Structure 1
Amino acid sequence: METSAIIQTSIHYGLHFLAPAGIAYLFYSNRWKFAWLILLSTMLVDLDHLLADPIFDPNRCSVGFHLLHSYAAIFVYAVVFLFAKRGSVLQLVSLGLLFHMLTDFIDCQLGAIL
């Protein structure tokens, strides 16, 4: 694996696993472990990759391609985040989904420049 691919993969998975821990600790310090688990659980959104052919394409950007990564879905996640009760599980789930989309978007951009 070449250096740029290692860097991109490290950033991608660091944002998917470690950054949610930081978000949970910063914004939900009294229940950060619970919040982190909820944020991590939103990675189940990647099940929509199973509907694609091929399932994994390293040169394909997930955002805007897969059903649950579509711009319409991202809009719904944002609306839910804005209108859900502050600190609720629903708001945590929508935050996790939005952060997941941001992470995938960053990965797309890195793939284009690395």
Structure 2
Amino acid sequence: MYIILLATMLVDLDHLFAHPIFDPDRGSIGFHFLHSYYAIAVYFLMLFFKGNIRIIGIGLLFHMLTDFQDFYFWHH
């Protein structure tokens, strides 16, 4: 399970399609396609499946939560 949760960090590969790749004044949520609200809805629906799909959904939702709080609560 630990490896699966670590692998969900690969969702950040969508940052490579942005220009610039990193912008400290830009939040990931709602900007990158794997961080879109539609993608988050799919990650939520993954919670209703059994097995590894559920674990992946949990990992992706935690990733979205940490991206959200990182930008909106700690950004200066």
For normalisation by structure 2, the TM-score amounts to 0.94
Q: Which residue of 2 aligns with 1:64?
A: 30
State the Cα RMSD in Å. Answer: 0.8
Deviation at 1:69, TM superposition (A): 0.2
Consecutive unaligned residues of structure 1, counting only runs of 5 or more, are 1-34
Q: Which residue of 1 aligns with 2:9?
A: 43
In the alignment, structure 1 residue 84 sits paired with structure 2 residue 55: no
Paired residue for 1:73, among 28, 39, 43?
A: 39
Consecutive unaligned residues of structure 2, counting only runs of 5 or more, are none
Higher helix proportion: 1
Shift >4 Å, 4+ stretches:
none
Q: Which residue of 2 aligns with 1:107?
A: 70
C-alpha separation in 2, matches of 1:47 and 1:106: 19
Amino acid at match of 1:58: P
Q: Which residue of 1 aligns with 2:61?
A: 98
Deviation at 1:80, TM superposition (A): 1.3
C-alpha separation in 1, matches of 2:58 and 2:24: 25
For normalisation by structure 1, the TM-score amounts to 0.64
Deviation at 1:36, TM superposition (A): 1.4
Deviation at 1:58, TM superposition (A): 1.2
The structure with more radius of gyration: 1
Deviation at 1:53, TM superposition (A): 0.3
